[in-house]
Structure 1
Amino acid sequence: MPKPKGKAGPSKGHNKIFKRRPAPRLKDDYIPESAIDKEPDDDEPEDDESTGSRLKVDVPVAMWDFGHCDPKRCSGKKLARLGLIRELRVGNRFRGIVLSPKGRDIVSPADRDIISSGGLAVIECSWARLDEVPFGKISSPHERILPYLLATNPVNYGKPWKLNCVEALAAAFYITGYEDYGRRLLQDFGWGDSFWKVNLHFLEKYKTCKDTEDMEKIQDEIMMQLEQDYKQAREKEDGEDDWGLPNPNRMPTSEEENDSEPDEARK
C-alpha cells in the first residue's frame, strides 16, 4: 500500500514536529518472531482450516494489482488466492472507498455507510514505482488515505505509513466499525497479530472520531505525544548510564554547581 501524499502523509509536511528526523518507528530489536514471514510452500495449503468456515466479509473488497511485488510475499495476491479480494482492471471504477496515495481526506468512521454500500478497495503497487501507476484511470469519487500507523509486515516492519495491502484494508475496516472484517483479513498471515499489538491503541482512538477533521486532530495529538516520549527517552539516555545512574562523565563541576544556584543563594 503506497504511502499517502495527502493530509496524513509525510509528503505534505503535516508532521512538522518530525522535520529534523523521521517519524517514530519500531526498533528492529523488538521484531517478534511472528513478524518474520516464511515463504509459502507451493505444495502445501496455506491454511490449516477451510476458509469457508470462517467469517465472511459481506462487502466488496477489491484491488488494482500492478504486479510490482514478489508473488510469494504480496499480501494482495494472497488475499486473492484465499478468495477474499477481487482484482480490478485499469479503467474499472469502484464506487466504494479507495485507499490511494492521491487521496486528500483520511478514512474515518463517517465512511462506514459508503463501505457498507460500495465496499473497500486498495492499490497494490511498489513504493518505489508510484510514477508507473496510472492513477487517472483508477480514480474514485471516494479516495482516502490512512492516518499514522506502523507497518508490521516483514518488508517494512516498524515503518510509519508503509502498510501493505492487507494491513491497509484491515486498518480501514477497523476505523469504520468493521473490526471483525479487519481481523478476518489478517488472520491468515503469520505476522497478523503483530499489527494489532502495535497499532490497536492508535486504532481505538481513531475509531472514536466523527469525521476526517477529527481524525486529523487525533493524529496530531498522537504524534505530539510520540515526540514528547522521544524527547524524554533521549534526555534519560543522556543523563544516565547503563545502570540507570547519573553519568559520571556529565557530572557538573563545582563552578557549574555555583552557576546553577538561584540568585537568592548568591547574595
Structure 2
Amino acid sequence: MSNLEENIENLALDSSSSDDDTSSSDEEVTFSVAMWDFNQCDPKKCSGRKLARLKLVKTLKIKQKFPGLVLTPTGTKCVSPSDRDIVATKGIAVVDCSWARIDDTPIAALKPQHGRLLPFLVAANPINYGRPCQLSCVEAIAATMYITGYKKLAKQYLDKFSWGHSFLELNGGILDRYSNCSDSQSVVAEQNKYIEEEQRQQELDKQAPRDFPSSSESDSD
C-alpha cells in the first residue's frame, strides 16, 4: 500500500464515527436506493453498511427482487443518461460483495430487469484507491446518480465519507462526459475515446525529454 493510500485509509477510519450524521440541508432522495449485502466485506470499511446506518440505503434480502436499475457484473448495457426515468421511478440497487470473491457470489441469481454496467472510472476508496473499475458501493451509486443527472445527490452521498471528494476529483471530467451522452452506446464510445486519450498521453509523457541540471548547477546545489 502506498503512503497516499495509507493516509487516506487512516483518515477514513478516524472519521468513521464523526461523519455519520446527515445534514439538514441535504436534498431529499425521491427514489429507492438499495443493496444486496453478501456479508463479504469488513464492516468497519464497508461503504454500503455505512449508508444503511445513515438510512440512505435499504438492505434487500438476497433473493429479493428489485424493479429498478441494478449495478451488476452480469449487466449487458452501460449506465447512461437514458436511464434517468428508470432511476426516477424505480430506483438504484447495488451488489455489496468483495471484489476478491466476485466469482463466488451468486449475482446471476438476482436476475434484474434493468441490469447495468458502469463505464471506466477510477476508485478513490481506501481499499482500492487508484484502481480502475473497482468501486465501492457508494462510488457506484454516486456515479450512477451523476451520469443520470442527479449530480447534487451524488455529491451528498460521497460527502458522507472523508475520502468521498477524491472520487469526483479523480473522475469529474469523465463523469461530465458520460453525463452528456445520449445512450449506452455513446457512453461506451466516450469511454473508449477517453482511454485512448489517456494511453496516448502516457506514451507522450514517456517520450518527453527530461531536463537535468548541469554539472555546475549540481555542484553549487
Tell me the TM-score normalized by structure 1: 0.74
| Alpha-carbon offset, residue 138 of structure 1 | 1.3
The total of aligned residue pairs comes to: 214
User: What's the CA shift string for 1:166-196, capped at 9, x where partnerless?
Assistant: 0000001000001111111111100011111
CA gap 1:80/1:235 in 2 versus in 1, 3 angstroms:
same
User: What is the one-letter code of the residue matched to 2:116?
Assistant: R
String of CA shifts for 1:209-230, please: whole Å, max 9, x gaps. Answer: 0000101111111011001101
**Residue in 2 that maps onto 1:191:** 163
Q: Is the 1:109–1:211 contact (alpha carbons within 8 Å) kept by the matching residues of 2?
A: yes
Gaps of 5+ in 2: 215-221
Instruction: Report the AA paired with residue 149 of structure 2.
Output: G
Aligned to 2:48: 76
The answer to whether residue 191 in structure 2 is matched with residue 219 in structure 1 is yes
User: Is the contact between residue 15 and residue 162 of structure 2 (CA under 8 Å) also seen in structure 1?
Assistant: no
| Match status 1:171 vs 2:171 | no
Question: 1:114-161: CA deviations, max 9, x gaps?
Answer: 001100000000111112211232121100011111101101111110
Structure 1 SS opposite 2:165: helix
Q: 1:133 aligns with which of 87, 96, 105?
A: 105
2: distance between equivalents of 1:221 and 1:62?
A: 32
Give the secondary structure class of the aligned counterpart of 1:38.
helix
Q: CA deviation at 1:55?
A: 2.2
**Residue 39 (structure 1) aligned with residue 9 (structure 2):** no
Residue pair 2:73, 2:117 contacting (<8 A) in 1 also: yes
Contact persistence 1:97–1:119 (CA under 8 A)? yes
The secondary structure found in structure 1 opposite 2:12 is: coil
SS in 2 for 1:70: coil
Alignment map for 1:11-90 (pairs within 5 Å): 36-39=10-13, 44-47=17-20, 50-90=22-62
- TM-score in terms of structure 2 length: 0.89
CA distances 1:233-253 after superposition (whole Å, capped 9, x unpaired): 1111xx425459xxxxxxxxx
Partner letter of residue 88 of structure 2? S
Query: More deviation in 75-84 or 30-39?
Result: 30-39
Which of 112, 115, 119 is the matching residue for 2:84? 112
CA contact (8 A) 1:112 1:176 kept: yes
Alignment partners' CA distance in 1, 2:163 and 2:31: 24
